[in-house]
Chain A
Amino acid sequence: MTKLAPEKRTMDISVSLIVDDNEADQFLTKLVIEEFNPNIEVISAYDGQEALDLLSTMDNQPGIIFLDINMPGMNGLEFLEEYSRWEHQAPVIAMLTTSEQTKDRQNSMSYGFVRNYFTKPLGKEDLEIICANYLNP
C-alpha cells in the first residue's frame, strides 16, 4: 500500500464518523477509538442518508469514516454510490460490518476510496493498521 499523497482538500484528522444503525456498535466503536486516541472526536449517524446530510454540513471532512453495510434506510453500499459522486471524499473510509460475505467485500472495495474492510467488533490493531498506512503524520 502506498502512502497517501498530500491532500489539497481540507480535512480534520481528529474527527471520525461512525455510520451504524446499531447503538451498541456505535458505543463499542466509539470506546475503542477513544481508548486508542482520546483526542479524536467521534460523531455518528444512523444510516447513509443521515451521514450524507451530516457530511454536507461539515466544513472539514472527517479523517476516518467507519461504515456499516446493513442499515435500514440508506445502506452502506448505497451511501458509497452517492458519496462517490462527491468532489472530495474523506481520506480514509473503512467498512466495519458483521458481514463476511465476499460479495459485500468486493462491492465495497470496488470504490477506490474505500481503504479497509473490517469485521465487527473494531479492534485496536485495526486502528493501528489505519494509522500505519495513512494517518502517520
Chain B
Amino acid sequence: MFNIFGFFSRFPIFTQILIGFCPVFFALVFLAVANNNNLNFFVENFSDFSQFNEKRLAFQEIEKDTVELQRNILVYSYIGYTGVLKNIDFIQQNLEAKFDSISPWTQQDEKIASRFKRMHKHYIDYKSGFKEAVKVRSLLAELKKDKIKPISLQAVELLNSVISNLEKNQNYQFAFAAGNLKDAFFQAEMNIRSFEISPDSLFIKETYSLIDTMQNNASELSIKIEDRSTNKKIDEFIRLLTDFRFEITKITNINRVYLHLVNVVLAGKAAEISKLSSEIGVLVSQKSADITYDISTQIFQSAKYYALLSITAGILAMIGAWLIAISISKPVRSMAKTLSLLAKGEPDTTIPGLTRKDEVGEMAKAANEFKNMAVRLEQQTVELEEFSYRTSHDLRSPLVSSIALLKTAKKAFAEGNEQNGQVSLQLVQSSLEKLENLVKDILELTRTKNAQEEPQTIDINALINECVQQLSYLSDFNAIDMQYDLQFDQPLFTKKSRVKLVIENLISNSVKYYDNQKTHSYIKISTFYNNGTFNLVIEDNSLGIPKHQQNKIFLMFKRFHPKTAFGSGLGLYMIKKSAEILEGSIVYQDTGGGSKFTLTIPTQIPL
C-alpha cells in the first residue's frame, strides 16, 4: 500500500506543510476559476437579458408608430392636408430605421424571424398602398379642379345670364324659378364639398335628386319661356347638369376606391403589423422570462456547487492538516519516548524515523548517534567494571601471596627448613615479576587507549623486521622457524604504533606459547593487498586456543594456558582495540595444529 507518511517524510517539514495544503490550494484555484466562469455566464446572460428588454421596447415602439402612422393616414385621407404627409414621411423613416436596427437579431429566433419577415412585408405593402391612396386622392382633386369647377362656373354663368335676360324682359316669375335653380345648384355644389370632408353617400343621393329636380324644373321652364336665346341657355344648363352628374358619379367611384384603400387595405395592413408586433413582443417577453429563469436556475446551481466545493476544500484542509500533524507529531512523540528510554539507560531501544529525509529524520539520526554513544558508554562501563575487578584481583593476588610466602619463608628459615624457605622466596620473586608485567601491560593499555596518533606512511616490511628483531631476545625464539611471504607493495597510510602493537603482540604470543612437543615449530608472516585493504596474516603451529574458549579470545584478562601463564591476558584485547582504531578487524582461525590471526585494515585512514 502507498505509505502516505513515508511519502511525506521525504521532504523537509516546510515542504510537507505545503504539500499537505496543496489540495486546498487546488480547491481554491478551482473555486476561483469556476467563479470566474460563472461570472462570465452571468454577464453574458444579463447582457442578453437587457438586450431582450431593449428589443421588447423597440417592438412596442414599432407598434406605437404603426398606430400613429395609421392615425395620420386617416387624418390625411379625410382632410387631405399635405402637412400631414410630412408627418407621415417622418414616421415612416423612423419605422424603417427601427426595422433596420432590429432585423439582424431577429434571425436568432425562428418564430420571431418569420413574424418579423411577415411584418416587414406588410409594411412594404402598406407603404405602396398608401402611395396609391395619395395618387387616387390627387386624381380626385384633379377631377374637381378640371371638371367640376368649369362645369360649375359655366352653369352659374348660364343661370346668371338667364336670370338677367328674364329680369330684363320683366318676366319676374321665371326669373325667380331660375333663381331657385341657381340655389339648388349651389346646394348640390355644397353637398359635393361636404362629401369631400365626410364621404357620406347621403350627400351623393341628395345631389343626384337635386340634379334630377333641377333638370325637370329647367325643362318645364324651358317649355314655358318663349325667348329662344334664353331657352337655348336653359337647355345648355340641362346638358351641363348631365355632365355634372357624370363627373359626380366618377368622383364617387374613385372616392370609393380611395376609401377602400385607406379603410380596408391600409388599415388591414396596419392591424397585421400591429398584431405581429405585439406577437413578437410576447415572444420576446417569453424569451426574456426564459433567460431570467435560466439565470436564476444557474445561480441556484452555482450556490449548491460552491457550497459543495467549499465543504470539500474544508475537508481537504482538515485532512491535509491532520496528515501533517500526524506525520510530524507521531515520530516526534516516539522520538521523545525513545530519548527518555535512552536516558533511563536502555540503549537497546529502536530509534523510529531513521529513514525519514526531513528534520525529524535528522533528529532521529542525532538520537541514533546519541544511542550509539550510550551503547559505547555502556560497553565502556562494563569493560571498566571488568577492568577494575580484574586489576583489583590480579594486582592483589600476587601481593597477598607474597606476604604469606615471606611469612612462611621467615618461619621456615627460623625452623631450619632451608628448602621450604628457598621455594617460598623463589615463588615471591616470580609473583612479583608477574605483578610487574601486569603493571607494565596496564600502563601500556592506558597509554595506547588514550594515545592520539596521526596516521603516516609506513614501510610495512621494515616495521615487521623491526618487531621481529625486538622479540629475538625471547628465550625460545631461536627454536622457531621464521617464514615470510610479504606480498603487499602498496602505500600504507595509517597509525604506525597501532600496527606495531598488533605485530609485536601476535609474534610474541606465537613465541611464548610455542609447542615444545613439536619437532618443527614455525611462525609464518604474510602480507597482501585485497580490494583497498592491507592484510597481515600470522600463522603458527603453537599450542593454539582450546575450542570452547575461542569465542572469548579477545576479551580482557583472558588467559588460556594455566601452566604457561606468564601473560596478563590483555594482549589480544589490545590487538582487538587497535584493529578497531585502525578501522579494520582481527579474525582468529583454528588451523587444527595452531593459530592463525588475520588483520585487515584499510590502506588509507583519513586524517
- Give min CB distance, B406 to chain A, whole Å: 11
- Give min CB distance, A66 to chain B, whole Å: 14
Cβ-based interface call for A120 (8 A): yes
Q: Report the nearest B residue to A69, measured CB to CB.
A: B393
- Give min CB distance, B571 to chain A, whole Å: 13
Cβ-based interface call for B521 (8 A): no
Cβ-based interface call for B597 (8 A): no
| Contact segment of B297-305, B396-404, B485-493, B527-535 | B396-404
Q: Inside 8 A of A23's CB, which chain B residues have their CB?
A: 427, 430
- Give min CB distance, B423 to chain A, whole Å: 6
Among B397, B423, B427, B563, contact of A98 (Cβ-Cβ < 8 Å) = B397
- Asked if residues A22 and B560 are in contact (CB atoms below 8 Å), the reply is no
Counting chain B residues whose Cβ lies within 8 A of the other chain, the interface size class is: 20 to 34
- Asked if residues A72 and B408 are in contact (CB atoms below 8 Å), the reply is no
- Asked if residues A73 and B559 are in contact (CB atoms below 8 Å), the reply is yes
- Give min CB distance, A106 to chain B, whole Å: 14
- Asked if residues B560 and A73 are in contact (CB atoms below 8 Å), the reply is yes
Bound together, the chains give a CA A25 to CA B428 distance in angstroms of: 10
- Asked if residues B401 and A70 are in contact (CB atoms below 8 Å), the reply is no
Cβ-based interface call for B450 (8 A): no
- Asked if residues B393 and A70 are in contact (CB atoms below 8 Å), the reply is yes
- B518-570 interface (Cβ within 8 A of A): 546, 549, 558-563, 565, 569
Q: Report the nearest B residue to A49, measured CB to CB.
A: B546
Cβ-based interface call for A107 (8 A): no
Cβ-based interface call for A28 (8 A): yes
Q: Given A70-B394, A99-B393, decide whether A28 and B401 contact each other with a Cβ distance below 8 A.
A: yes
Cβ-based interface call for A121 (8 A): yes
Bound together, the chains give a CA A73 to CA B562 distance in angstroms of: 6
Secondary structure of the B contact surface, majority rule: helix
Bound together, the chains give a CA A50 to CA B546 distance in angstroms of: 13
Bound together, the chains give a CA A50 to CA B564 distance in angstroms of: 14
Most A Cβ at <10 Å: residue of B401, B427, B546: B401
Bound together, the chains give a CA A39 to CA B284 distance in angstroms of: 143
- B408-435 interface (Cβ within 8 A of A): 408, 420, 423-424, 427-428, 430-431
Bound together, the chains give a CA A79 to CA B430 distance in angstroms of: 26
Q: Given A23-B430, A24-B428, A31-B420, decide whether A73 and B561 contact each other with a Cβ distance below 8 A.
A: yes
Q: Inside 8 A of B563's CB, which chain A residues have their CB?
A: 46
Q: Inside 8 A of B401's CB, which chain A residues have their CB?
A: 22, 24-25, 28, 120-121
Among A27, A99, A120, contact of B423 (Cβ-Cβ < 8 Å) = A27
Bound together, the chains give a CA A121 to CA B405 distance in angstroms of: 9
Among A24, A99, A121, contact of B430 (Cβ-Cβ < 8 Å) = A24
Among A46, A50, A120, contact of B397 (Cβ-Cβ < 8 Å) = A120
Bound together, the chains give a CA A80 to CA B78 distance in angstroms of: 152
Kindly list 5 other residue pairs between chains A and B, CB separation below 8 angstroms, not including A25-B397, A98-B397. Answer: A22-B431, A27-B423, A27-B424, A73-B549, A98-B393
Chain B residues proximal to chain A, CB less than 8 Å: 389-390, 393-394, 396-398, 400-402, 404-405, 408, 420, 423-424, 427-428, 430-431, 546, 549, 558-563, 565, 569
Chain A residues proximal to chain B, CB less than 8 Å: 21-25, 27-28, 31, 46-47, 49-50, 70-73, 98-99, 101, 120-121
Q: List 9 A-B contacts (CB under 8 A).
A: A24-B427, A27-B427, A28-B401, A28-B404, A70-B393, A72-B560, A73-B559, A73-B561, A98-B400
